[in-house]
Amino acid sequence: MFKDLNSNKKAIEFLQKELNFERESGTYLFYGVDRELLKKFAKAFAKSLNCSNYRDDFCDVCESCIRIESETHGDLEILDDITGIKIEKIRELAFKDSTTSYEGKRKIYIIRDVEKLRKESANALLKMIEEPNSGSFFILTSTGLNVLPTIKSRSILVNILQENAQEIGVTQEEYKFFLGKSKDIEDYKRVGTIDLNEGCSFERIGHNIKNWIDTGEFQYKVEIYKSIRDFLNTKDYLTTIDKLYFVDEIVSSISDREFIKDILGYTISLIGNRSKNLEKLLEIKNMGRSSINLKNLLVTFYTNI
């Protein structure tokens, strides 16, 4: 329920007002740095729009709420592709939108990472939100406001702020370790037995990545973070060979660009302004978008820290 969300009271009040208007259709752009928190709020809003017992808050127990939570609701569609939603997916959505509502209330489309939409996908989406069918609601999410102006201008903007340590119920130290990311922190609290002070050698990064991919167990994700932390703590004593070994371990365990960008992002956030080369490192990280060879990118990055 809204009242269980510990942060963003202002955004919640705003959404409650929106719900009271009982609009026929609408497009909302939820933006903020915490990608998973955006999804959480998008789902909360989706539940509110379709809840059978809505009274200033969704109930979280009716069939509609439960099925939206488990993402099995017939009138809910979530498009999720961190590399940018493909045009075919938007077309399928348009087709679905033109047919009648399956479960009778509102159709809700959560479209994530709209800042990454390519031009043709964005234009296809634009067509839908320009003249929305009655009962259709679009909840777009984006980690920044660098969204196509034509989409932005047709959306109701809702800023979802990152939760602070107190709201999320952890110490500053724990918060910093996870860079304030709500999903990671929730997983950390759920597991409950992870010791963040315990170290993990940078040499084990490949092993940790493999375990994380194979098992999906959160403790291995934490071990990856720890290996990066160890690399940064010891970097002044490491030889070039050590640094190349670290890179080799990463690239031989994974080839997913988004995953590697997350590793670079975590590294940059941990060093913060301690590095004289911060700008250069950010520039190298952003090269990850192009087709540049990943190993070269990582070598350049980790030998410049």
Which CB, 58 or 188, lies closer to Zn ion? Answer: 58
Query: Among 5, 33, 62, 196, which residue sits at the site for Zn ion (rule: CB under 5 A)?
Result: 62
Which CB, 52 or 98, lies closer to Zn ion? Answer: 52
Distance of closest approach, residue 39 Cβ to Zn ion, in angstroms: 18
Spatial neighbors of 271 by CB under 8 A, at least 6 apart, are 232, 278, 281, 305
Radius of gyration, CA atoms only, the chain: 21
Query: Among 33, 59, 165, 268, which residue sits at the site for Zn ion (rule: CB under 5 A)?
Result: 59
Which CB, 55 or 190, lies closer to Zn ion? Answer: 55
Spatial neighbors of 108 by CB under 8 A, at least 6 apart, are 46, 49, 50, 68, 73, 75, 76, 77, 137, 139
Q: Is 90 in the site for Zn ion (CB under 5 A)?
A: no
Per CB under 5 A, contacts with Zn ion among 36-55 are 51
Task: For residue 27, give the nearest of 144, 111, 117 by alpha carbon.
Answer: 111
Which CB, 50 or 142, lies closer to Zn ion? Answer: 50
State which amino acid sits at residue 116: K
Which CB, 59 or 82, lies closer to Zn ion? Answer: 59
Distance of closest approach, residue 78 Cβ to Zn ion, in angstroms: 18
Distance of closest approach, residue 63 Cβ to Zn ion, in angstroms: 8
Site string for Zn ion, 210-249 (x = CB under 5 A): ----------------------------------------
CA distances from 49 to 79, 107, 138, 147, 207 (A): 18, 9, 11, 25, 45
Which CB, 30 or 58, lies closer to Zn ion? Answer: 58
Which part of the chain contacts Zn ion (CB under 5 A), choosing from 25-33, 63-71, 181-189, 262-270? 63-71
Q: Cβ–Cβ contacts within 10 Å for residue 199, how many?
A: 12
Task: For residue 184, give the nearest of 122, 71, 262 by alpha carbon.
Answer: 262
Q: Is 1 in the site for Zn ion (CB under 5 A)?
A: no
- Return the bridge partners of 108, or none: 76, 137
- Give, as one character, the DSSP assignment of residue 255: -
Distance of closest approach, residue 41 Cβ to Zn ion, in angstroms: 16
State the Cα–Cα distance between residues 47 and 110, nearest whole angstrom.
12
Which part of the chain contacts Zn ion (CB under 5 A), choosing from 16-24, 28-36, 57-65, 118-126? 57-65
Which part of the chain contacts Zn ion (CB under 5 A), choosing from 62-70, 219-227, 276-284, 286-294? 62-70
In degrees, rounded to 5, the angle at the alpha carbon of residue 70 between the alpha carbons of residues 65 and 72 is: 90
Distance of closest approach, residue 102 Cβ to Zn ion, in angstroms: 17
The beta-strand segments (E) located in 121-178 are: 136-142, 156-159
Distance of closest approach, residue 143 Cβ to Zn ion, in angstroms: 28
State the Cα–Cα distance between residues 206 and 254, nearest whole angstrom.
8
Which part of the chain contacts Zn ion (CB under 5 A), choosing from 58-66, 92-100, 217-225, 247-255? 58-66
Q: Is 65 in the site for Zn ion (CB under 5 A)?
A: yes
Classify 156 as helix, strand or coil: strand
Which CB, 66 or 278, lies closer to Zn ion? Answer: 66
Residues that bind Zn ion (rule: CB under 5 A) add up to a total of: 5
Classify 19 as helix, strand or coil: helix
State the Cα–Cα distance between residues 31 and 199, nearest whole angstrom.
35
Residues that bind Zn ion (CB under 5 A): 51, 58-59, 62, 65
